[in-house]
Structure 1
Amino acid sequence: MSDEKDISYEEDVKKTTITTTSTSDEVQVETETTEKSEEEKEYLRKLNWIVLPFAGMTIFLNFCDKSALSVGPVLGLNADLGLTGQEFSLLGSLFYLGHLVYQLPNQFMLQRVPHARYLGVLLCIWGLVMTLTALTQNFAQMAACRFLLGLFEAAAMPTLYLVTSILYRRSEQTLVFGFITLCNGVGAAVGSAIAYGIAHMGHPNGIQNWRWNHYIFGALTILHGFIVYFFMVDTPKHKKLKLTPAEERIADARMKDNAVTQHREFKYAQIWECLKEARWYLLVIAAFCISMQNGGMLVYSTTFTMALGFSPLDSMLLQIPSGFASSLGVLAAMLIARKTGQLLYTGIGLLIIGMIGLVLLCAIPEGEVKLLGFYLSWAGTGAYSLLLTYVGNNAKGYTKKIFYNGCIVAAYTLGNFAGPLMMVEHEAPRYLSGVGGYLAGFGVAAIAFLIVRIQAARTNKKRIANGAVGDVNLALDLTDQEDEQFLYRV
């Protein structure tokens, strides 16, 4: 059975269609702007050219800086500092401990400060930490720098996800969030290529190559921080957009569609509502389970491929395909989810592909064919971008959205913290404990996605039966539970 209702938000949006499809206990709701006016297209072009390059470069540097450790052994890090295998694992995890510590302060800061300037300051600070890391002489100093790097990088992704959820329509957020996640894969590929070049520098001025890697990316991060501080747009009517009166009306309509507007009052009732939702626990668990593979395979990516029999430099080059494989997985997820309107089912599909890769790694004792499993395993991490898109689309209420984003990132951080510790040194090159744990994690995340989707579809069916058409009220800052007109995108 299918029902269609046409709802006009504003004159600038000619047609917005809500399609509901009922099959037993499920109702699929797909909201899509089928036609935009020329004024809105121009407004969107302005946003894309001003926002996306800043967001993409921020995530690119975020990834390159935190993953500098993974290529460190090839560039002489372990030998220079006298690190053991266990100490190397701890360095990978300490970054995420710093990441976790800053999540709570970050939630308060996001509700009280201009987002672009906040992000610019943090970029400059973590760029400085990255640069100072090049001066470390032992494990203790390196551990302190890795903790501080994680502390100051912690706000980057939550800030960008919040800014983009404010600026973009819900129907556009799948592509935007996917683009941000895709930049992680680009960072893996390009960062590995740059590290490969650094490996051939020959220790200029007597400085080890791993130190040059930190100097170069630290300087780039500081420069980017200054640019973000002065030029990034973080509100729908920012003066740098130079909006016409017609475009200002468009901005108002878009804020209504994306179901979020900024409020400075921190509403504890919205947090309590989160804690009473089964959905919150399921999504937090899913974020944790997905990110275990990301943390372990990221830190051990070069070491893992070296254990398969490749030379150190070849192992570094082989990270380039893994970065592109991750990017392709995210790109495919974006396109499929946008085409089908199925966020969570697409995420489940990616997790299944990742599970196939991990099964190959567990089942095949040795040989270069294990690289196929290594590359396929990265597909599962693409489900994280769809999880974030789901939260951006469906967590309504400003405090609630910030809390959801913060908790998801905290779970992501804990998973990344646990991941490297699951790679037991004496199990090389198969690392069965770690790989088996990542496999189980992907399975649990897939089940969590499925339960969340079923619950949301049932709520939509009930609300549509009561006359809901998806016309949300922003003035009262209602949550998705309080606003009976709100329909979930699944």
Structure 2
Amino acid sequence: MYRRSEQTMRLGAFWLCNGISLAIGGVISYGIGHLHDVAGLKGWQWVMLLLGCVTILVGLITFFFLIDDPRSLRWYHNAEEQILVEERIRDNAVVRNTKVNYDHIKEALREKRFWCFCLISLLANMQNGALTSYSATITAGFGFDKFQAIILQAPTGLVDCLYILVAAYVSQRTGQTIYVGCVCLLGTATGLLLLEFIPVARLKLIGLYFCWGYAAAYVMLIASVASNVSGYTKKIFYNGMSMIFYTAGNFVGPFLMDSSTKHYLGGMIGLVIADFLAIALFLYARWEMVKVNRKRLADPAPEPTNVEDDLTDVQDHNFIYRM
């Protein structure tokens, strides 16, 4: 159980693995690409077989060893550690329960911030679907052969990691999550424009690598949800809907890319517009939370909050949003 002030860095570390997998996956794909007709299997069959086996192994490890409750006896807490666990639970402002509170869901649906976060998840991840699907094809269009195009995907993972590391560090040091997310989206928009308008084909790789800032922006989004939404059902609903819109963005993104044209100009411009819309929504959501903070700091609640009451961030007048 992480404190609210710790969550950005921890979520950054979690999503860092996505960048690492991109880097390693590029190298692995390059090797697997040379396994055609080995043991009677085609290259794509080797991809499914090897990655499927790894996925099954990780699933088994997760099932048996992942702890789902900070109070679990499998941690073997002594009395002092148990006190620290309870303090962290209070700071996190969410206590796990098994009852669905429909009032929490109704409250979320009435919030402008909720729809801002959902749309940011959709807009920021349209390029995830587009670039993941077309990155190798775009790279090959710079004059590289198919195997060079595959191996050149590895640096995208390293850039992804760098974006997330810097964003998480700056957010942790400054306490600014949403502003950092906006800067990351500006980096992505800049990369898309460079990718389209740099005149030298092979230098367009610079723009392609810049494009991966959206991953760090998404980390800032889920960190803001983790830090600024309380009430167990409400937080689960926020996270679930964010993931649905994340999936929708990945689905929609590739349809922006017209494979009949050489440079995907329309798709790139569409993704740039999506980035700036996401930035505007980020800033509006931040403004909404700043307004509430000012009111609560000017007129603080007379009584401390009991975390066991499972109050939402709207109901709990002691709750101060982290920006």
- Whether 1:211 aligns to 2:39 is no
TM norm structure 2: 0.97
Q: Which amino acid is 1:258 matched to?
A: N
Paired with 1:458 and 1:469, the residues of 2 have a C-alpha distance of 20
SS in 1 for 2:211: helix
Select 1:341's aligned residue among 163, 175, 179. 175
Paired with 1:334 and 1:453, the residues of 2 have a C-alpha distance of 18
Q: Is the 8 A contact 2:35 2:46 kept in 1?
A: no
Q: Where do residues 135-150 of structure 1 align in structure 2 (5 Å cutoff)?
A: none
Return the offset for 1:469: 9.6
Q: Provide the residue aligned with 2:66 in structure 1.
A: 232
Paired with 2:304 and 2:272, the residues of 1 have a C-alpha distance of 41
Q: Provide the residue aligned with 1:367 in structure 2.
A: 201
Q: Provide the residue aligned with 1:48 in structure 2.
A: none
Return the offset for 1:485: 0.6
Return the offset for 1:203: 2.5
Return the offset for 1:458: 1.5
Select 1:438's aligned residue among 271, 276, 290. 271
- Whether 1:475 aligns to 2:298 is no
Paired with 1:473 and 1:434, the residues of 2 have a C-alpha distance of 50
Q: Is the 8 A contact 2:129 2:249 kept in 1?
A: yes
- Whether 1:354 aligns to 2:223 is no
Equivalent pairs, count? 323
Return the offset for 1:198: 1.4
Return the offset for 1:182: 1.3
Q: Provide the residue aligned with 2:147 in structure 1.
A: 313
Runs of at least 5 residues in structure 1 that lack an aligned partner in the other structure? 1-166
Relative contact order, higher structure (CA 8 A, sep 6+): 2
Q: Provide the residue aligned with 2:322 in structure 1.
A: 489
Q: Is the 8 A contact 1:350 1:382 kept in 2?
A: yes
Q: Where do residues 228-267 of structure 1 align in structure 2 (5 Å cutoff)?
A: 228-267=62-101
Select 1:189's aligned residue among 4, 12, 23. 23
Return the offset for 1:192: 1.1
Q: Is the 8 A contact 1:471 1:486 kept in 2?
A: no
Q: Provide the residue aligned with 1:128 in structure 2.
A: none
Paired with 2:217 and 2:117, the residues of 1 have a C-alpha distance of 11
Q: Provide the residue aligned with 1:450 in structure 2.
A: 283
Paired with 1:197 and 1:361, the residues of 2 have a C-alpha distance of 27
Name whichever of 430-439 and 464-473 sits farther off. 464-473
Q: Which amino acid is 1:315 matched to?
A: A
Select 1:459's aligned residue among 278, 282, 292. 292
Q: Provide the residue aligned with 1:38 in structure 2.
A: none
Select 1:291's aligned residue among 105, 125, 138. 125
SS in 2 for 1:308: coil
- Whether 1:280 aligns to 2:114 is yes
Return the offset for 1:199: 1.9
CA deviations on 1:410-461 (whole Å, 9 max, x unpaired) are: 1111111000111111112x11121111111110011111111111111111
Q: Where do residues 60-139 of structure 1 align in structure 2 (5 Å cutoff)?
A: none
Q: Is the 8 A contact 2:2 2:88 kept in 1?
A: yes
Q: Provide the residue aligned with 1:176 in structure 2.
A: 10
Q: Which amino acid is 1:177 matched to?
A: L
Q: Percent identity?
A: 38
Paired with 1:486 and 1:297, the residues of 2 have a C-alpha distance of 39
Whose strand proportion is higher, 1 or 2?
Answer: 1
CA deviations on 1:380-405 (whole Å, 9 max, x unpaired) are: 33100000000011111111001100
SS in 1 for 2:218: helix
Q: Which amino acid is 1:215 matched to?
A: L
Paired with 1:269 and 1:178, the residues of 2 have a C-alpha distance of 31
Q: Is the 8 A contact 1:257 1:472 kept in 2?
A: no
Q: Is the 8 A contact 1:473 1:483 kept in 2?
A: no
Q: Where do residues 43-58 of structure 1 align in structure 2 (5 Å cutoff)?
A: none
Q: Which amino acid is 2:290 matched to?
A: A
Q: Is the 8 A contact 1:470 1:486 kept in 2?
A: no
Q: Which amino acid is 2:256 matched to?
A: M
Paired with 1:469 and 1:328, the residues of 2 have a C-alpha distance of 44
Which portions of structure 1, spanning 4 or more consecutive aligned residues, are displaced by more than 3 angstroms?
A: 468-472
Paired with 2:36 and 2:45, the residues of 1 have a C-alpha distance of 12
CA deviations on 1:317-369 (whole Å, 9 max, x unpaired) are: 11111111011001110000000000000111111111111111232355111
